[in-house]
Structure 1
Amino acid sequence: MKDGATLEFTAEGTYTEAITLTGEGYNRQGALSLANVTSLRGGADQVRVNNVILAGNTTINTSTKRLDFDGTLSAAGFALTKIGSSQVTYEGGGTTNLGDLYVKQGDFTFGGGANALGNASNTIYINSNATLRFYNVAAVSKGITLRGGNWIRDGSSNATTFRVAGGGLRIEAGASALTHTATSQVIHLDVINRAVGATLNITNTSSPVVAFTTSTLNTNGIIGGYATWGGNTWAVSGASGTDITISGLSSFQTNSFTVAANNVDITSSQGPAANFTINSLRFNTAAGVTLTLQGSNVISSGGILVTSTVAGNATRITGGT
């Protein structure tokens, strides 16, 4: 396929032919498109391709059906961009030199072998409303940048660790999420590099106690006012060291605004003295709560957390600044 052209599949099934792709396709709708799949080919419920070659940076579009890379993906260092709401799954073991991966829409799942992620020196970018999923990844390293997207670890694994390359996890503006739901694979985030406007919620529902680690240290007992654990508390690491297990803050200072390092849990309406400084503020009570301010006050981490426990109850901050 030449740059500017689109190969469009209209029937589900397995395609063993060698397919060479490049560019964004006709009208920027993808060099390979599953936007109008309407029929079956051999009883399959998705489109499976066994031999894909990238001749340049390439966009694929999965608007209506799932696309499976079942065999070889030869990328020659070029970037791959995914658009469209349906899933792309890589289940082969023959990825060669995949460069950057941009998951702009939908779900991109890796279920392949040791080379599934391609070049470790490149980066996977996950946009808002998009998901990167590790199901069975034996690859051990790749750069990861979350742009308000989701990164999920589930399924099985034949690799015990995965380390984010390129100087650590990067989070850009938006509400990003990390979720670990299965297996004993430990994901080492290294340093968490945060851009202005970025938040990160980390959840571990799997059996291993250690699911994520970081080399970003606590400040006043928490990683930062941008990082939460399970959506209901602040994420914490440690005061020193590297590859520290991430967990959730379990001890707050209840309704206490007198110490600058306090991570305050407000459980009832409060009117603290003017011009206080605290580290963070959490609303976690199933009741209407009002915080009435006086003067100019500071939350040094910038973190204000309203948890799901609050539900539909009114939570207000009023008065000063």
Structure 2
Amino acid sequence: MFEGAHRIIRTGGGATSRINLNAISRQAGSSLDIQNGDIATTDNTNTNGIIGGWITVNGTDWAQNSTNAADGLITAFTSYSNDVWVHNSNVNVTTNATESGQINTLRFNTASNITLNLGAVILDSGGLLVTPGAGANTILLNGALSRSIQLPPAAAT
């Protein structure tokens, strides 16, 4: 998938077709939104519950491989940790907070102003999602937010 925002939709009343995406590869700066949780399958498996911090369902939820195996249906992830910041969690922010640590993703889906005072927060997947549910409210992030980067093994010398 090339850089930029991409979307897969299915049109036509009563349409039931599915697209098998097999293994999805992507370039940095690309994202994919799947219109509904019943129109595409993938061979990509989940990490910390989701396919990645770059793929969503209907712009409101992270995407997951429903079987976590080949040809799994891409569906909406629903097991968010509401305001609970623990390692590897996909946090749904609903209230103001002061936090630090390493999590998988951040999601803002509450129609209210939110202020987060962040120590060193690392997003393993790099995923930060502001959904239409957040409305035109202010989301203010104070502090340090970074993405986890895994370096390849060092070459033998």
Q: TM-score range by the shorter chain?
A: 0.7 to 0.9
Measured in 2, the distance between the counterparts of 1:285 and 1:312 equals 11
**Structure 1 residue aligned with 2:154:** none
Match status 1:249 vs 2:74 = no
CA contact (8 A) 1:218 1:239 kept: no
Match for 1:300 among 116, 121, 124? 124
The offset of 1:270, in angstroms, is: 0.7
Residue deviations 1:270-294 (CA, integer Å, cap 9, x gap): 102x3x0000000011000011112
**Structure 2 residue aligned with 1:288:** 113
**Structure 2 residue aligned with 1:190:** 22
Q: Which of structure 1's runs of 4+ aligned residues deviate more than 6 A?
A: none
**Structure 2 residue aligned with 1:263:** 90
**Structure 1 residue aligned with 2:59:** 231
Match status 1:178 vs 2:2 = no
**Structure 2 residue aligned with 1:314:** 138
Q: Secondary structure at the match of 1:309?
A: helix
Unaligned 5+ segments in structure 2 are 146-157
CA contact (8 A) 2:83 2:93 kept: yes
Residue deviations 1:127-147 (CA, integer Å, cap 9, x gap): xxxxxxxxxxxxxxxxxxxxx
TM-score, scaled relative to structure 1:
0.43
The offset of 1:198, in angstroms, is: 0.3
% identical equivalent positions: 36
The offset of 1:186, in angstroms, is: 1.7
Residue deviations 1:249-281 (CA, integer Å, cap 9, x gap): 112001111x22100000011102x3x000000
Q: How does 1:1-321 map to 2 (within 5 A)?
A: 171-182=1-12, 183-204=15-36, 210-238=38-66, 240-257=68-85, 259-272=86-99, 274=100, 276-294=101-119, 296-321=120-145
TM-score, scaled relative to structure 2:
0.86
The offset of 1:247, in angstroms, is: 0.6
Cα pair distance change 1:240/1:310, threshold 3 Å:
closer
Measured in 1, the distance between the counterparts of 2:69 and 2:80 equals 23
Q: Secondary structure at the match of 2:142?
A: strand
Equivalent AA in structure 1 for residue 89 of structure 2: N
CA contact (8 A) 2:67 2:73 kept: no
Q: Which of the pair has the greater relative contact order for Cα pairs under 8 Å at 6+ separation?
A: 2
Q: Secondary structure at the match of 2:133?
A: helix
Measured in 2, the distance between the counterparts of 1:221 and 1:196 equals 21
Q: Which protein is bigger by CA-based radius of gyration?
A: 1
CA contact (8 A) 1:189 1:212 kept: yes
Equivalent AA in structure 1 for residue 98 of structure 2: G
CA contact (8 A) 1:188 1:213 kept: yes
CA contact (8 A) 2:53 2:127 kept: yes
Unaligned 5+ segments in structure 1 are 1-170
CA contact (8 A) 2:21 2:41 kept: yes
Residue deviations 1:49-101 (CA, integer Å, cap 9, x gap): xxxxxxxxxxxxxxxxxxxxxxxxxxxxxxxxxxxxxxxxxxxxxxxxxxxxx
Measured in 2, the distance between the counterparts of 1:241 and 1:226 equals 19
